[in-house]
Amino acid sequence: MKKSFYPLIWVGVLAVIACALLVYERDFLWKIQEANLFLNSSLFFRQQMVVSGGMLSWLGVFCTQFLHIPWLGVLLLCGLWLLLIWVAKRTFSIPDRWATLLLIPVALLLIAIVDTGYWLYVLKLPGYFFAATLGTLAAVLSLWAFRALPSKYALRPLFIVVVAAVGYPLFGIYALAAVLLMGIWSWRLEKQRLQALVSTIVAIASVIAVPLVCYHFVYYQTNLANIYYTGLPVYFITENHRVYYLPYLLLFLFFLALALTYKSQHAEWKMKAAPIVRTATQVAVVAALAFGVFHFWFKDENFHHELTMQHRLDCADWECVIDEAREQEDEPTRPIVMMRNIALSRLGRQGDEMFLYKNGSKAFAAPFGMRAMLEVGPLAYYHYGMLNYCNRLCVEMGVEFGWRAEYLKYLVKSALLNGEQQLARKYIGLLKQTLFFDDWAERAESFLKNPKLMDADPELAAVKHMLHHDNVLGTDQGFVESYLMRRLANNFNTEDTVFQEQALLATLYTHDVPQFWTHFANYIRLHPDGKMPRYYQEAAYLYGKLEERPNLDNMPFDSSVKAEYDEFMRFAPLYDGADVEDAREGLRNQFAHTYYYQYYTMGQLPEY
């Protein structure tokens, strides 16, 4: 392959990767930067440096913020990958005809990103999206410098000690990996075996000793069991999910192979294969990498629907949330149902449309016990006006998983709605230290100066209608939706029509018939001239039949409400004694849009 072609191959492949990320993972990129927080302050820098690998995290968080503008963040990522390829080629003197092999580390780094899935809600390593790329680049640069040193004066063993002593506090495991590679690479670089042996012994001793010294005398926030892995995401909840470390292991093995097969640029790489064979081999390498990336790319439908809905709710784009719900093909998770209902409520259509979309409670496609609380806990409590619970979750999760921009935004909005000006000013001040959330903070500050402006904001104005809960703080046992619905159904002390309707809707979830009749009567009283939404009629007719209320048929129900009830009751007995899953499947096509179906077949859904 001609020398002028291989950079074009690199750029072409990176362009395809960039397009794939921007087209298929735009909402994932948005969520990554929302779960990131970079503050332009010396205090923030010092906070990152209290553990080994702190510089890596600081740089990773700094780079991640650019995903706020997706194309800019992806361009930065691909630029770093291109630099990594170029540096690796120079470091290991890779001939042009084998330059395609340098796409292997890029593919592994990409897999480590796109296979994140639900781990993004629980990973604690700051800046992990860029950390592996930056750490690998730093390691290869140190290897380049190591190779450039002369063999005399014991410069290489001394350099190994310096990289371990300085690199470990800055880059954690990536510095240790570089030191190990230096010790192994010495056998290819040194002409004298004794020099190579000295370098290897120094490398092994440095890898063992430096983390221990740092643990005992420098850092106090690192677990002894993790001192050799700092800088890597920790894929551990109740057990260690080692398969997620495979890209990092293969990355090390790739550079180990380059070190073991190293030939200087003056040495001749003998190739007996014909050019067409070499070309076919490189095409096969690219195809294999593409297949591998596609195979490990996390493609779960619900995961991506959830991210899109979160993004659209953050923009108060209610219609787009509903559009996303229409595209649902698989059984939805509860966060999807909750976010869809929030959007429908904001549009005033929940009582007529919420069962027109797929309902369900599919388990999260996560290798650990993922909970809805981790994903939409603050979001749900905020939109339903339970600000105490929203604040509690933001603070607790900020302490557990690290502070994120989205947590600060919820805390600002909650403080504004509660009229806590000093608290709002505190969080706004933090967001003003960011590069991309300062405009958001300034807009929030305008609400602080003139609270009446919140009435013109579609999101804040809607939440204000929900601020009728008792000023208490209890425990939800991690089950956000059921706790929310019970609290709403039990709330009778408001004349706010929006809140009262949500309380009525909550009784359709809890199946509490006495509470339903109380809220139903209040709804009629507060809407004397309005059209009764479809599902309130269906619930009233169903409960009336269950209680054998007299004169039920004389009430002004739509004729279709009665007709569909009769039709449902004609088919439902066919599944008496059958498994509820069979009943759901058998009745779904004809009755899933009715409350009758939801009451009888969807009332025992699991909650995660």
Q: Confidence band (pLDDT; 50, 70, 90) for 279?
A: confident
310-338: pLDDT as tens digits? 999 999 999 999 999 999 999 999 999 99
Distance CA(357)–CA(343), nearest Å, equals 13
Closest CA to 63 of 11, 117, 15, 132: 132
Helix axes 301-314, 334-346, angle to 10 degrees: 30
Domain boundary, last residue among 264, 279, 296: 296
Closest CA to 230 of 173, 167, 165: 173
399-425: pLDDT as tens digits? 999 999 999 999 999 999 999 999 999
Both tokens assigned to 121: 């809600």
Distance CA(57)–CA(127), nearest Å, equals 5
Q: How far is CA 574 from CA 327, 561, 564, 580, in A?
A: 31, 21, 16, 12
Q: Confidence band (pLDDT; 50, 70, 90) for 529?
A: confident
pLDDT of residue 274 exceeding 70, the answer is: no
The reply to whether 318 falls in a domain is no
Number of domains in the chain: 2
Q: How far is CA 148 from CA 141, 177, 293, in A?
A: 11, 19, 34
Domain boundary, last residue among 245, 263, 296: 296
In three-state secondary structure terms, 386 is coil
pLDDT of residue 60 exceeding 70, the answer is: yes
Both tokens assigned to 29: 């990129």
Contact present, 83 and 105 (Cβ < 8 Å): no
Q: What percent of the chain has pLDDT over 90?
A: 81
- If you average pLDDT over every residue of the chain, what do you get? 93
The reply to whether 306 falls in a domain is no
Distance CA(405)–CA(432), nearest Å, equals 11
User: From the DSSP assignment, how many helices (H) and strands (E) are in the chain?
Assistant: 30, 0
Question: What residue numbers bound the domain in which 83 lies?
Answer: 6-296
225-269: pLDDT as tens digits? 889 999 999 999 888 999 999 999 999 999 999 999 987 654 554
Both tokens assigned to 303: 């995961």
The mean pLDDT value for 571-596 works out to 91
The mean pLDDT value for 533-556 works out to 91
pLDDT of residue 545 exceeding 60, the answer is: yes
Residue 165: DSSP 8-state: I
Contact present, 303 and 117 (Cβ < 8 Å): yes
Q: What percent of the chain has pLDDT over 70?
A: 98
pLDDT of residue 107 exceeding 80, the answer is: yes
162-188: pLDDT as tens digits? 999 999 999 999 999 999 999 999 998
**Could you count the other beta carbons within 10 Å of the beta carbon of residue 539?**
26
Domain boundary, last residue among 273, 296, 319: 296
pLDDT for position 494: 78
491-508: pLDDT as tens digits? 987 789 999 999 999 999
The reply to whether 441 falls in a domain is no
Contact present, 203 and 182 (Cβ < 8 Å): yes
pLDDT of residue 272 exceeding 60, the answer is: no
Both tokens assigned to 491: 């709330």
Burial 540-551, CB ≥16 within 10 A → b, else e: bbbbbeeeeeee
pLDDT for position 604: 83
Both tokens assigned to 566: 């009769």
Task: Give the pTM.
Answer: 0.94
Residues 6 or more apart whose CB falls under 8 angstroms from that of 240 comprise none
Classify burial at 36, counting beta carbons within 10 Å of its beta carbon; exposed 0-12, middle 13-18, buried 19 or more: buried
Q: Which amino acid is at 35?
A: A
The mean pLDDT value for 555-580 works out to 91
144-167: pLDDT as tens digits? 999 999 888 889 999 999 999 999
The reply to whether 220 falls in a domain is yes
419-477: pLDDT as tens digits? 999 999 999 999 999 999 999 999 999 999 999 999 999 999 999 999 999 888 888 89
The mean pLDDT value for 549-558 works out to 86
pLDDT of residue 1 exceeding 70, the answer is: no
The reply to whether 424 falls in a domain is no
The reply to whether 155 falls in a domain is yes
pLDDT for position 266: 47
The reply to whether 385 falls in a domain is no
Contact present, 405 and 427 (Cβ < 8 Å): no
pLDDT of residue 208 exceeding 90, the answer is: yes
The reply to whether 231 falls in a domain is yes
Q: DSSP letters along 215-240, please? A: HHHT-SSS-GGGTTSTTS---BSSSB
Both tokens assigned to 296: 């490990």
Instruction: Assign 3-state DSSP to the chain and report helix, strand, coil percentages, each to 5.
Output: 70, 0, 30
